[in-house]
Amino acid sequence: MGKLTLFIVSDSIGETAELVAKAAVSQFNQGLETVSVKRFSHIEEESQLREIAFLAKQQNALVVYTLVKSTMRKKLLEDCVSQGIQCIDLLGPLVDVISMNLGEKPLEEPGLVRQLDDEYFKKIEAIEFAVKYDDGRDPRGIKKADIVLIGVSRTSKTPLSQYLAHKRYKVANVPLVPEVNPPDELFEIDPTKCFALVISPEKLNGIRKERLIALGLKHDANYAQLDRIKKEIIHFEKVVSKIGCTVIDVTNRAVEETANVIMSKLTK
C-alpha cells in the first residue's frame, strides 16, 4: 500500500484546504491511515513558498494550496514546477471564474471568510441574547448587556432590541410599570449604556388602543386610558432621573432612526 504526504499551504489558517483534502482522502480505503497531512499557515512571503516547495521535493509530497493573492499562487506554481512536484490550486480557478462573471477584481485579502464567520456568530449570539433578556424576563442580563433599553409598554423596546442585535449589540430591555419596582441592576450599571425611550401620551394612547383591538379586546381598557399613561410616564421620569441615563423621544422616530441615535452615542 502506497503512502502519501500532503502539504496544505495557506495565507490564512488553511482549514478550508485541509477539510477538502481530508474529504478527498476519505474516499480511499485506509486513506486517513496512509496519508500524512502537514499544514503551513499564514504564508505571506515568497521565500516561504520556495522553502515549502524544497521540503515537498525532499518528502515527495503533494502540495495543495489556498492562496488568495494571485502573485503568490503564480509563485508557488513556478516553485513546484521547478522542483518537479505536483500541486493543486483549490482557490484560484474559482476566484478567477467568479471575477470574470462579476466583472470585479478580487480583494485578495487573506482571512476574510473567517472574519465573515465570526461576524455571523456574533450576530446570532446577540439575537439570542435579546430574546433571552426581552421584557425584563431576567434582570441578570442587565449587567451583561452592551445596551439596556427602558420605557413604558409599547415604546418599541423589543423591535429596537432585535434591530440592534442584528448590529451585533447584546441588548436587554426592561418595561417600567408604577406597580412594580425596577430591578436593582438598573441602578448599578454604567448609565451611558442605558437608554430611556419616551413617547408622547397622545401617540401612546393611539398605539395602545390599536393593540387592544388587534387582541380582540375593548379599546377603552385602563391600559389605554390617557390618565393611566400619564401616570406611567411620571413613574418613568422618576426612574430615569435616578439612573441618569440618556432619554430618546421615539414619538416620531422609526426603529432604525432610534438605533442610529443609540449607536452614534455609543461610538462617541
Same domain, 183 and 121: yes
* Cα distance between residue 163 and residue 170, in whole Å: 11
Rg from Cα positions in the chain: 29
HSE toward the beta carbon, residue 84, CA cutoff 13 A: 4
Same domain, 89 and 132: no
* Cα distance between residue 55 and residue 250, in whole Å: 65
Residue 261 has pLDDT above 90, yes or no: yes
**What CATH number corresponds to the domain at position 143?**
3.40.50
Question: Residue 3 contacts by C-beta under 8 Å, 6 or more apart in sequence?
Answer: 34, 35, 36
Domain boundary residue, one of 110, 132, 158: 110
* Cα distance between residue 159 and residue 145, in whole Å: 16
Same domain, 66 and 127: no
Tell me the binding residues: 151-158
Residue range 165-192: average pLDDT? 96
Summarised one tens digit per residue, pLDDT across range 22-71 is 899 888 877 667 889 999 999 999 999 999 999 999 999 999 999 999 99
**What CATH number corresponds to the domain at position 16?**
3.40.50.1370
Residue range 130-135: average pLDDT? 96
Summarised one tens digit per residue, pLDDT across range 194-244 is 999 999 999 999 999 999 999 888 878 899 999 999 999 999 999 999 999
Same domain, 68 and 166: no
Tell me the binding residues for ADP: 151-158
Residue 116 has pLDDT above 80, yes or no: no
Residue 151 in grid coordinates: 420605557
Same domain, 123 and 175: yes
* Cα distance between residue 164 and residue 194, in whole Å: 13
pTM strictly above 0.85: no
Q: Which domain holds residue 257?
A: 117-267
